Amino acid sequence: MTMRIERINNGIVLDHIKAGMGIHILKLFEVELLHTKIDYASYIDSPSLGMKDIIKIENLDVDPKMLMKMALLAPDITISFIRDGHVDKKVKPEVPPLVEGVINCPNPKCITQQEVYLTSRFQVAFEEDGRLRQQCLFCEHIFYS
């Protein structure tokens, strides 16, 4: 496997991202990535996924809610927390069947779009083809990632 990106000393390494989804993962961050060194390689050969994306972000930490958001976009994702050049811990977030307050419903007619204090609720399950089915429990709109 050819690595197109450099080692980092402190930060996070996001690996096993379904190819092409890396850009969507990066979009989850708003201001955190300003003035930050990011390495992003996409469509790398992967023995388990066929093709995958890898992202390395220096001097960044992520909370459990962000881990869940990333897992909903890329269910196979692994996150390594790097400290002083070593892997401090490596996690693979599990997607629970009920996801509350993590993602927003994309249906513009959904009440959760209007009532900002309403906690979003999604029923989440894998389809036979491996896609992640997400159903808003308010409008019952279904979408996939």
Partner 1 sequence: MRKSHKIDEHTIGEKMEPFAFKGRHIIDTADLSNDEIMHLVKVCDEIQAMGDDKARTLCKGKILATLFWEPSTRTRLSFEAAMYRLGGNVLGFSEAKSSSVSKGETLADTIKTVSLYADIIAMRHPMEGSALAASQYSEVPVINGGDGPHLHPTQTLGDIYTLIKEKGRLEGLKMGFLGDLLFGRTVHTLVRVLARFGVELHFFSPEGLNIPAYVRSDLEAKGAVFTEQEGLGGRLAELDALYVTRLQKERFFSEEEYLRKKNSYVVDRETLTRAKDDVLVLHPLPRNEEIHPNVDGLPNAGYFRQATYGMQMRMSLISTCLGVKA
Interacting residues with partner 1 (CB under 8 A): 98, 107, 109-118, 123, 125, 133, 135-142
Nearest to 102 by CA among 67, 131, 139, 137: 67
Nearer residue to Zn ion within complex by CB, 49 or 139: 139
**Residue 139 interacting with Zn ion (CB under 5 A):** yes
Q: Which of residues 81-120 bind Zn ion (CB under 5 A)?
A: 105, 107, 110
> Closer to partner 1 at the Cβ: 16 or 121?
121
Comparing CB distances to partner 1, the nearer of 49 and 139 is 139
Q: What sections of 4-63 are H helices per DSSP?
A: 22-27
For residue 125, the partner it binds in Zn ion, partner 1, none, with Cβ less than 5 to 8 A by kind, is: partner 1
Question: Among partner 1, Zn ion, none, what binds residue 17 when CB lies within 5 to 8 Å by partner kind?
Answer: none
* Per-residue DSSP letter, 120: P
Per CB under 5 A, 136 contacts Zn ion: yes
Cα–Cα distance for residue pair 47/50, rounded to 1 Å: 6
For 116, counting Cβ atoms within 10 Å of its Cβ (0-12 exposed, 13-18 middle, 19+ buried), the class is exposed
- Closest Cα partner for 82 from 52, 53, 61? 61
What is the layout of strands, in order, in the sheet containing 142-144? 98-100, 121-126, 132-136, 142-144
118: partner contacted, choices Zn ion, partner 1, none (Cβ within 5-8 A by kind) = partner 1
Residues lying near Zn ion in the complex (CB under 5 A): 105, 107, 110, 136, 138-139, 141
